[in-house]
């Protein structure tokens, strides 16, 4: 079963409904410019899924404060964080690091090399001028340029229409996918039925 992260959660009732579905990580975005920014702790947080905090060029103090408030299990760094930044944040929090990298060319894939000693996972997203995700897909054939042993997830506009493509990926370090906007009723509010159908389909392959 591949690892699935459902990202951009915010509403307590929606979190509670989604929690019963078969996926492993639930993401909370702590980037004020995001339409899915979480500025207050929801009245309910998931108990079954690991909680992933998504940060963009945030300070260590901001990150550690949110780790405590939300009981985070993993940190996704989605900005211009350097390998040294990743190392320092990992040391300060004791949590695994997911380093997000924007991909448009093979050289973008190869930039993962500089993070190989600090990132526990990579998230390959579509390269764009905006930070925090673009909802667009990149050419997954570029993944052939990735030769490290660090596992990675794919992001960038993955929706129900990408089911066949997702289950056909055979890269040895491909561990899962990140789902967000293509499963939304509105920013921060997910369609439970659409996610349930998609997850059942990919988990039974």
Q: What is the pLDDT of residues 69-116, one digit of tens each?
A: 999 999 999 999 999 999 999 999 999 999 999 999 999 999 999 999
Rounded to an integer, the average pLDDT of 141-167 is 92
Return the CATH architecture of domain 3-182. Answer: Alpha-Beta Barrel (3.20)
What are the structural domain ranges in the chain? 3-182
> Phi then psi for 110, rounded to 5 degrees?
-70, -15
Rounded to an integer, the average pLDDT of 34-47 is 96
Asked whether the beta carbons of 143 and 169 are under 8 A apart, the reply is: yes
Burial of 9 from C-beta contacts in 10 A (0-12 / 13-18 / 19+): buried
Q: Using only C-alpha atoms, what is the Rg of the chain?
A: 16
pLDDT band at residue 193 using 50, 70 and 90 as cut-offs = very high
User: What predicted TM-score, i.e. pTM, was given to this entire model?
Assistant: 0.94
Does 135 have pLDDT greater than 90?
A: no
pLDDT band at residue 128 using 50, 70 and 90 as cut-offs = confident
Q: Is 198 helix (H, G, I), strand (E, B) or coil?
A: helix
Element at 152 (helix H, strand E)? strand 152-154
At residue 202, the pLDDT reads: 86
């Amino acid at each position: 079963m591949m690892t699935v992260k459902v990202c951009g959660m915010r509403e307590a009732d929606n979190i509670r409904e989604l929690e019963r579905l078969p996926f492993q990580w639930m993401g909370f975005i702590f980037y004020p410019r995001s339409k899915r920014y979480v500025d207050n702790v929801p009245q309910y947080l998931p108990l079954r899924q690991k909680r992933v905090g998504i940060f963009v060029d945030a300070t260590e103090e901001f990150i550690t404060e949110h780790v405590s408030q939300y009981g985070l299990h993993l940190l996704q760094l989605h900005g211009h964080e350097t390998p040294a930044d990743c190392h320092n944040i990992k040391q300060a929090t004791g949590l695994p690091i997911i380093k997000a990298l924007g991909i448009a060319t093979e050289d973008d894939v190869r930039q993962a090399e500089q993070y190989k000693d600090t990132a526990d996972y990579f998230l390959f997203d579509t390269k764009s001028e905006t930070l925090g995700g673009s909802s667009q897909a990149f050419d997954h054939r570029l993944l052939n340029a990735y030769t490290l042993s660090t596992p990675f997830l794919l992001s960038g506009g993955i929706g129900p229409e990408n089911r066949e493509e997702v289950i056909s990926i055979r890269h040895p370090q491909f561990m899962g996918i990140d789902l967000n906007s293509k499963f939304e009723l509105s920013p921060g509010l997910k369609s439970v039925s659409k996610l349930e159908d998609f997850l059942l389909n990919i988990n039974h392959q």
